[in-house]
Amino acid sequence: MTPTGTRKVPTYCYQCVAGPDLLNVVVEDGVAVKVEPNFGVTEHPAGGRPCVRAYGLVQKLYNPNRVKSPMKRTNPQKGREHDPGWVAITWDEALDLLADKLRTIRDAGFVDENGYPKLAVTFGAGGTAPAYLGGFPAFLSAWGAPLDQGIGSGQGMKCVHSEHLYGEFWHRAFTVAPDMPTTTYVLSFGNNGDVSGGVIGVWRHAEARGRGARWIQFEPHMSVTAATAARWVPIRPKTDAAVLYAILNGVLHEHAWRRVCDVAYLSRMTNAPYLVGPNGYYLRDAATRKPLVWDEKRAAAVAFDTPDVEAYALEGEFTVAGIEIGPDEQMIEHASTTARPSFQLLRDHVKPYTPEWAAKVSDVPAATIREVTREYLEHARVGATVEVEGVTLPLRPVAILLGKSVNNGWGGYECCWARTLLAALVGALEVPGGILGTTIRLNRPSSNRLESVRPGPDGFMAQPLNPTSKKDWQARPTSRSAHKTLVPLVSDGSWSGALSPAQLPWLFMGDPPPKWPEPTPPEVWIVGRSNPAISCWDSDLVMSKLKRFPFVAAFAYTQDETNWFSDLLLPDATDLESYQLFRVGATKYVESYWEHQGVALRQPVADSPFDTKDLTDVGTELSRRLGLLERYNEALNRGVALGVPLKTAQYDVSLDASTPHTSAEIWDRACRAATLALSKGREERDLAWFSEHGVYLVPFSRLNWYLHPEMLRKGLRYELPYQERLKRIGAELRARLHEQDIHWWDTQLDEYQALPPWKDFPEIWVDIARRHGKKPEDYPLWLLTSRSMQYSWGSQVSLPLMADVARHVRGHFGIMLNAKMAALHGIDEGDEIWVESPIGRQKGTAMLRAGVRPDVVVAIGQFAHWATPVAEDIQMPNLNALEPIDLSLIDATGSGSDLVRVKVYRTRHGDR
């Protein structure tokens, strides 16, 4: 029976990591007709409003181009030119087929002859996938054997990768945000937060502008965020580190550093006073192995944690006895040696990076650099305090933000280091007004950043690094992205495979480097919410490898460029068709930090128009077919996929492990458990309650936004400025790889430096032409990409409504060029032009702008689809198709920046 009347059904949107945000779907006579904000949720920092993308959800539900039932490939030949020959099958047939393939793996062994898991899964779009996978992760847990998450769909290229890894290492900041409600001054290097910061980011930035906060945007083109900023500073691509280094130089040499820096913070909260020996390692007490500091009062070296040090020496050179501990426990004894505080080394290190030097590198005038340095120091208000919920904390309302392509790929380490250090210099790290980490992914518990702070070596936080010692190093990669072998910083958790050099499988499959087990095509690859044939660099290379995958099962919304190569299309129930309870509030990705925390329900708002299946039911059915039902239910009971255990000492709403349960039953238990946990046993809300109310929230203290009190409580320091640990790890990793005769990762190993110097980063991209047998001077321009609020994270590309709206954004569907530069090339507004890189060319429409550097062209988003309905009609170039997957573009963390050298010219009649 079709329901009649009008209802408002609450649900959430998590189509980008900046959410989840809350909304209502208006349903008339059982048909979803529109999306509205959920104004009832006053706790939401942006008043319960969702962004433009969320308004596409109704069209997303009823899109007639969806995959309408499971489909099986009939054409055994795979390739872009071969139609898969889909035939519709039933869900039973589809799940039987997949289960059979999986059973074969279980029977014959989980790992192939090269050491790689035979089952691989790729769920793209960073943190958003978990909000849509339902109970499926519990199936992966019940699988009970290694599975490979290292086949990349753009990880490292499309995220803020170095920031993820170094940020989490330094201050539990997988993502970094300004404390926007309090900040008064932001220096942003390409952080396009008014597009990618989600509704909360946009709301808070606007509020800050309203109260006079100043935002300076360094960026090669005038993005939306540059437009709303007080000032736009056009900067040469990939030279952000130079400007940051010049600001460091200004603070430490052009200003009286003792006056402008937070000396107490540096002395007690960082490793600035740690003495460094002649070999670059901390000088340590021989007996306790503790790093030494110089106590000015005692005029002697003492262990860093000596309680009554009144004045730490930050400058100078001291004669001391002690040991250095190098790589592989190598002990260097000094009866007497000279040692300097790491702060002194820092000052020496940044001495050459004057504003005049940076101006030459970056095209940013020295006067501008001096001006922002002065403003930064003024706004930092060193010495000021503020009371937060009765606790007095430092107030440092300044933040430096980095954007994608600045904080990943080569130069990402240097930028992240300089930015975090600039915060530390004025004591603005993890305090009100300063920069904050908002989420963690490598440490546990992932739901609580503060709890993850545990004492580690030398007075710093512990970090689950992948071992590099002779004894424990993982010589043979366990994932195709080799995370345990190549990337110590990424640890070995559920996210680590995907957060490593996930381009390597595409590059090395069929063409491995010497002494390296070839990454094999996985026997079964499950892919969903992800389209690597578009979102990864070097699409042609990716497709050439995809062809070789023997069995691909794709959770499919529409036909797309990746599932074109699959064997099975499984139309999973999407946003408005399935159940999931998901954590909201507290501190999450980007600027999503609230003064509340809780859970929100995603639920079916209307009958699904097609034969789709809730992914929780898919997980249950696959588990049942494979005899894993009990393990699957137990995983759910432990809280896997649900985000909350169903049984604790306080409550028990667990599922009977022996029988299958529907998605609604499973999520009903999650609703009860989550509310019992949040209310400490006082309240229990079931699925029916959530269906009506949508969200359950409890207060979340603002004090939890800041790591500072926790660091004080635990007596810990930030591992800045000196990277002794990374230096040692890098040396060990180099030794391990060389012992295996592996030398192709050597350039990456150079990143492990205690104080990273500037390197000529732009030249790395210029050199790509030479590596491909071309002349660099033939590619005089930089092609950059920029996010689109309408399209980012990809789930909207097949919605004509979104295209209709996005055309109001300047340059959205064209190639943006500087107007004067275009005139020199004889290019007019609206001309059809080629953008050509050393590996290919792409067509698009020229859009002339004043707000683009003359040496830059910009293409928004990632398009160039050829199989996705609607998207295939959008003629837009895709940077990814022009950027090679090349070892020289991959940094030590496994990431690469989205930029490529190109030339542009008008198409000629008949060009294809």
Partner 1 sequence: MRWGMVVDVRKCVGCQTCTIACHEENALPPGIFWRHVVDVEVGEYPDVRRAFLPMGCQHCAEPPCVPVCPTGASQQRADGIVFVQYDMCIGCGYCAVACPYRARHMIHDQEWYFMAPTPSEKKAHDPERHGVMSKCTFCKHRVDKAPAGATPGVDPEYTPVCVSSCIANAMHFGDLDDPTSNVSRLREEHQPGVLLEELGLKPSLFYITE
Q: Does 226 bind partner 1 (CB under 8 A)?
A: yes
Q: Minimum CB separation from partner 1 for residue 429, in Å?
A: 28
Closest CB to partner 1 among residues 533, 695: 695
Residues 6+ apart with CB under 8 A from 912: none
Q: Minimum CB separation from ligand SF4 for residue 35, in Å?
A: 9
Determine the interface stretch with partner 1 among 42-50, 472-480, 647-655, 676-684 (rule: CB under 8 A).
42-50
Residues 6+ apart with CB under 8 A from 831: 845, 846, 906
Site string (813-832) toward partner 1, x via CB under 8 A:
-----xxx------------
Instruction: State the binding partner of 671 from partner 1, ligand SF4, none, CB within 5 to 8 A by kind.
Output: none
Residues 6+ apart with CB under 8 A from 359: 246, 365, 366, 369
Instruction: State the binding partner of 19 from partner 1, ligand SF4, none, CB within 5 to 8 A by kind.
Output: ligand SF4
Q: Does 51 bind ligand SF4 (CB under 6 A)?
A: yes
- Helix, strand or coil for residue 788? coil
Q: Which helix (H) or strand (E) holds 59?
A: helix 57-62
Q: Does 257 bind partner 1 (CB under 8 A)?
A: no
Candidate list 29, 333, 746, 873; residue touching partner 1; CB under 8 A: 29
Determine the interface stretch with partner 1 among 24-32, 370-378, 753-761, 888-896 (rule: CB under 8 A).
24-32
Q: How many CB atoms lie within 10 A of CB 469?
A: 13
Q: Does 331 bind partner 1 (CB under 8 A)?
A: no
Q: Minimum CB separation from partner 1 for residue 42, in Å?
A: 11
Instruction: With beta carbons less than 8 A apart as the criterion, state whether 87 and 71 touch.
Output: yes
Q: Does 14 bind ligand SF4 (CB under 6 A)?
A: yes
Q: Minimum CB separation from ligand SF4 for residue 16, in Å?
A: 3
Candidate list 87, 108, 145, 227; residue touching partner 1; CB under 8 A: 227
- Helix, strand or coil for residue 74? coil
Residue 424: C-alpha distances to residues 269, 310, 519, 912 (Å): 9, 20, 42, 54
CA 873, 878, 880 angle in degrees (round to 5)? 140
- Encoded tokens for 111: 């790992």
Determine the interface stretch with ligand SF4 among 8-16, 705-713, 726-734, 904-912 (rule: CB under 6 A).
8-16
Q: Minimum CB separation from partner 1 for residue 27, in Å?
A: 10
Q: Minimum CB separation from ligand SF4 for residue 57, in Å?
A: 9
Evaluate the CA torsion angle 7, 10, 15, 16 in order and state its sign: positive
Q: Does 53 bind ligand SF4 (CB under 6 A)?
A: yes
DSSP for 336-392? EEEEEEHHHHHHHHHTT--HHHHHHHH---HHHHHHHHHHHHHHH-TT-EEEETTEE
- Encoded tokens for 705: 């936004």
- Encoded tokens for 808: 């109001």
Instruction: State the binding partner of 64 from ligand SF4, partner 1, none, CB within 5 to 8 A by kind.
Output: partner 1
- Encoded tokens for 714: 């635990």
Alpha-carbon distance 794 to 325, whole Å?
Answer: 48
Q: Does 688 bind partner 1 (CB under 8 A)?
A: no
Q: Does 366 bind partner 1 (CB under 8 A)?
A: no
Alpha-carbon distance 60 to 71, whole Å?
Answer: 20
- Helices (H) and strands (E) counted in the chain, each on its own, are 29, 31
CA 787, 788, 793 angle in degrees (round to 5)? 80
Q: Minimum CB separation from ligand SF4 for residue 51, in Å?
A: 3
Site string (172-211) toward ligand SF4, x via CB under 6 A:
--------------------------xx------------
Closest by CA to 897, choosing from 743, 791, 764, 797, is 764
Closest CB to ligand SF4 among residues 717, 812: 812
Q: Does 591 bind ligand SF4 (CB under 6 A)?
A: no
Site string (591-620) toward partner 1, x via CB under 8 A:
------------------x-----------
Candidate list 10, 37, 48, 50; residue touching ligand SF4; CB under 6 A: 50
What single letter denotes the amino acid at residue 689? Answer: W
Residues 6+ apart with CB under 8 A from 590: 17, 18, 175, 177, 193, 196, 197, 198, 200, 201, 438
- Encoded tokens for 33: 């007709």
Determine the interface stretch with partner 1 among 522-530, 619-627, 698-706, 796-804 (rule: CB under 8 A).
796-804
- Encoded tokens for 109: 């062994």
Q: Does 588 bind ligand SF4 (CB under 6 A)?
A: no
Determine the interface stretch with ligand SF4 among 51-59, 526-534, 821-829, 865-873 (rule: CB under 6 A).
51-59
Instruction: With beta carbons less than 8 A apart as the criterion, state whether 728 and 327 touch.
Output: yes
Determine the interface stretch with partner 1 among 197-205, 539-547, 630-638, 774-782 (rule: CB under 8 A).
197-205
Residues 6+ apart with CB under 8 A from 497: 148, 149, 150, 479, 480, 481, 483
Candidate list 854, 866, 873, 911; residue touching partner 1; CB under 8 A: 854
Site string (51-70) toward partner 1, x via CB under 8 A:
xx--xx-xx-xxxxx-----
Alpha-carbon distance 824 to 843, whole Å?
Answer: 19
Q: How many residues bind ligand SF4 (CB under 6 A)?
A: 14
Instruction: State the binding partner of 302 from partner 1, ligand SF4, none, CB within 5 to 8 A by kind.
Output: none
Instruction: State the binding partner of 865 from ligand SF4, partner 1, none, CB within 5 to 8 A by kind.
Output: none
Candidate list 10, 20, 137, 519; residue touching ligand SF4; CB under 6 A: 20
398-402 and 71-72 beta bridge pairing? unpaired
DSSP for 599-622? EEEE---S--SSS-B-HHHHHHHH
Closest CB to partner 1 among residues 34, 298: 34
Instruction: With beta carbons less than 8 A apart as the criterion, state whether 325 and 340 touch.
Output: no
Instruction: State the binding partner of 59 from ligand SF4, partner 1, none, CB within 5 to 8 A by kind.
Output: partner 1
Candidate list 13, 187, 742, 892; residue touching ligand SF4; CB under 6 A: 13
Site string (513-552) toward ligand SF4, x via CB under 6 A:
----------------------------------------
Instruction: State the binding partner of 16 from partner 1, ligand SF4, none, CB within 5 to 8 A by kind.
Output: ligand SF4
Candidate list 175, 563, 723, 790; residue touching partner 1; CB under 8 A: 790
Q: Does 46 bind ligand SF4 (CB under 6 A)?
A: no
Q: Does 130 bind ligand SF4 (CB under 6 A)?
A: no
Instruction: With beta carbons less than 8 A apart as the criterion, state whether 291 and 277 touch.
Output: no
- Encoded tokens for 367: 């006067």
Alpha-carbon distance 292 to 313, whole Å?
Answer: 11
Candidate list 21, 572, 577, 621; residue touching ligand SF4; CB under 6 A: 21
Alpha-carbon distance 715 to 710, whole Å?
Answer: 8
Q: Which helix (H) or strand (E) holds 247?
A: helix 240-249
Q: Minimum CB separation from partner 1 for residue 327, in Å?
A: 47
Q: Which residues bind partner 1 (CB under 8 A)?
A: 28-29, 31-37, 39, 46-47, 49-52, 55-56, 58-59, 61-65, 194-195, 199, 202-203, 205-207, 209-210, 222, 224-228, 232, 234, 609, 789-790, 800-801, 804-806, 808-810, 818-820, 849-854
Q: Which residues bind ligand SF4 (CB under 6 A)?
A: 13-16, 18-21, 50-51, 53-54, 198-199
